[in-house]
Amino acid sequence: MPASRLRDWLLLGPGLLWLALFLVIPCAIVFCFSFFERGVYGGIDYIFTFENFQRAIDPLYLSIFLKSAKIAGTATLVALFLAYPAAYAISKAPPNRQTALLVLAMLPFWSNYLIRTYAWIVLLNREGLINTGLRDLGWIAEPLPLLYNEFAIITGLVYNYLPFVILAVYSSISRLNPEILEASEDLGAPSWKTFLRVTLPLTMPGVAAGSVFIFVLSIGNFITPDLLGGGNLLMVGNIIYDQFLTARDWPFGATLSFILIGIMMALLFTQAILVRRAQGDAPEKEEANA
Partner 1 sequence: MSTLKRFAAACLVGTAAIAVSVTTAQAEEKIVISNWDGYMPADMLEKFTAETGIVAEMAVHATNEEIMGKVVAGKGKGYDVLFVSSPFVEALNHLGLVAELDHSKIPNMANLYPQAMELEYDPGLKVSVPYAWGTTGLCYREDLVSPAPTSWMDLLEPKADLKGKITMLSTDRWLMAAAFLAQGKSVNSTDEADLEAAKDLLIAAKKNLLSYDDTTFYSKLVSGEASMVHAWDGWCNYGIGENAAIKYVIPKEGSDLWVDTMVVTAASENKDAAFKFLDFVLKAENGAWVPANILYKVPNKAAMEALDPALVTQFPNLGITPDELLSQEQLRDLGAGQKAFSKTVTEILASN
Q: Which is nearer to partner 1, 93 or 247 (CB)?
A: 247
Query: Which residue type is seen at 163?
Result: P
Judging by beta carbons within 10 Å of its beta carbon (0-12, 13-18, 19+), is residue 157 exposed, middle or buried?
Answer: buried
**Rounded Cα gap, residues 249 and 36, in angstroms:** 10
Binding flag, residue 245, partner 1 (CB under 8 A): yes
Q: Which of 115, 118, 159, 153 is nearest to 234 (CA)?
A: 153
Q: Which of 1, 10, 40, 115 binds partner 1 (CB under 8 A)?
A: 40
Looking at 238, 255, 257, 271, which residue binds partner 1 (CB under 8 A)? Answer: 238
Residue 286 near partner 1 by CB under 8 A? no
Of 76, 91, 117, 125, the residue at the interface with partner 1 (CB under 8 A) is 125
| Residue 148 is a binding residue for partner 1 (CB under 8 A) | yes
Q: How many CA atoms lie within 13 A of 34 on its CB side?
A: 20
- Residues in contact with partner 1, total (CB under 8 A)? 45
| 239 lines the binding site for partner 1 (CB under 8 A) | yes
Piece in contact with partner 1 (CB under 8 A), picked from 63-71, 90-98, 166-174, 276-284: 63-71
216 neighbors 264 (Cβ within 8 angstroms): yes
The helix or strand, by DSSP H or E, that contains position 58, with its residue range, turns out to be none
Long-range contacts: 14-22, Cβ < 8 Å, 24+? Answer: none
Q: Least distance in Å: CB of 80 to partner 1?
A: 27
Using CB under 8 A, which of 38, 213, 217, 258 touches partner 1?
Answer: 38
Rounded alpha-carbon distances, angstroms, from residue 242 to 50, 237, 239 = 21, 9, 5
**42 is a contact residue toward partner 1 (CB under 8 A):** yes
Only segment of 15-23, 59-67, 186-194, 270-278 that touches partner 1 (CB under 8 A): 59-67
DSSP 28-88: HHHHHHTTSEE-BTBSEE----SHHHHHHTSHHHHHHHHHHHHHHHHHHHHHHHHHHHHHH
* Least distance from partner 1 to the Cβ atom of residue 120, Å: 13
Q: Which of residues 213-232 bind partner 1 (CB under 8 A)?
A: 229-232
Residue 28 contacts partner 1 per CB under 8 A? yes
Is 242 an interacting residue with respect to partner 1 (CB under 8 A)? yes
Least gap, CB of 232 to partner 1 (angstroms)? 6
229, amino acid identity? G
Please name the residues in contact with 70: beta carbons below 8 A apart, sequence gap of 6 or more.
none
Q: What is the DSSP letter of 108?
A: G
Amino acid of residue 99: T
Q: Are 190 and 110 in contact (CB under 8 A)?
A: no
26 versus 190: smaller Cβ distance to partner 1: 26
Residue 116 binds to partner 1 (criterion: CB under 8 A): no
Question: Which residues of this chain interact with partner 1, rule CB under 8 A?
Answer: 28-29, 32-33, 35-36, 38-44, 46, 48, 55, 58, 60-61, 63-64, 67, 125-127, 145, 147-148, 229-234, 238-239, 242-249, 252
